Structure 1
Amino acid sequence: MHQRQSLPNLWLLSDARNDGVLEEALTRLPRGSAFVYRHYHLPPRKRIARWWRLRDLCLARDHLLVLADSALTAREWGAQGTYGAPLALYPQRADLVQIATAHTMREIAQANRKRADAIMLSPAFATRSHPGAPHLGPVRWHLFAAHAQMPVIALGGMTAQTARRLGTQRWAAIDGLSAS
Structure 2
Amino acid sequence: MKASYVGSAMAGKKLPAFIFVTDGARQPDPVPVLRTLPRGWGVLFRHYDHPLREALGRRVARLCKERGLRLLVAGDVRLAARLKADGLHLPEGLARRGILSPALLWRQQGRALSIAAHSPGAVRRAKALRADLVVLSPVFPTVSHPNARPLGPLGFLRLKALSPIPVAALGGMRPATARRLRDCGAFTLALVDGVFLFLKGAPRLSCGRNP
Task: Give the paired residue count.
Answer: 176
1:111-122 equivalent positions in 2, closer than 5 A: 111-122=126-137
Cα deviation digits, residues 78-110 of structure 1 (max 9, x gap): 211111133434234343210000000010011
Quote the residue 1:40 is aligned against.
Answer: 48
Out of 62, 80, 94, the residue aligned to residue 68 of structure 2 is 62
Quote the residue 1:82 is aligned against.
Answer: 88
Quote the residue 2:112 is aligned against.
Answer: 97
Q: What are structure 1's unaligned runs of at least 5 residues?
A: none
Q: What are structure 2's unaligned runs of at least 5 residues?
A: 1-10, 201-211
Out of 153, 159, 179, the residue aligned to residue 174 of structure 2 is 159
By how many angstroms is 1:151 displaced? 0.7
Give the Cα–Cα distance (whole angstroms) in 1 for the partners of residues 26 and 65 of structure 2: 20
For normalisation by structure 2, the TM-score amounts to 0.76
Quote the residue 2:190 is aligned against.
Answer: 172
Quote the residue 2:12 is aligned against.
Answer: 2
CA RMSD of superposed structures (Å): 1.9
- Larger helix proportion of the pair: 1
Give the stretch that moved more between structures: 99-108 or 48-57: 48-57
By how many angstroms is 1:21 displaced? 5.7
Give the stretch that moved more between structures: 14-23 or 133-142: 14-23
Asked if residue 50 in structure 1 is aligned to residue 49 in structure 2, the reply is no
Q: Residue 27 of structure 1 aligns to which amino acid in structure 2? A: R
Alpha-carbon distance change, 77 to 124 in structure 1, aligned in 2, over 3 angstroms: same
For normalisation by structure 1, the TM-score amounts to 0.88
Cα deviation digits, residues 3-39 of structure 1 (max 9, x gap): 0xx2111111111134346223223222111101110
Give the Cα–Cα distance (whole angstroms) in 2 for the partners of residues 33 and 176 of structure 1: 14
Asked if residue 73 in structure 1 is aligned to residue 88 in structure 2, the reply is no
Give the Cα–Cα distance (whole angstroms) in 2 for the partners of residues 36 and 67 of structure 1: 6
Give the Cα–Cα distance (whole angstroms) in 1 for the partners of residues 36 and 174 of structure 2: 14
Asked if residue 137 in structure 1 is aligned to residue 147 in structure 2, the reply is no
Cα deviation digits, residues 121-163 of structure 1 (max 9, x gap): 0010000011132101011101111111211000111133321
Cα deviation digits, residues 50-105 of structure 1 (max 9, x gap): 11112111111211111113333311222111111334342343432100000000
Identity %: 33
Quote the residue 1:23 is aligned against.
Answer: 31
Alpha-carbon distance change, 65 to 22 in structure 1, aligned in 2, over 3 angstroms: same
- What secondary structure does 2:72 align onto? strand
Give the Cα–Cα distance (whole angstroms) in 1 for the partners of residues 148 and 190 of structure 2: 18
Q: Residue 25 of structure 2 aligns to which amino acid in structure 1? A: R
Q: Residue 139 of structure 1 aligns to which amino acid in structure 2? A: L
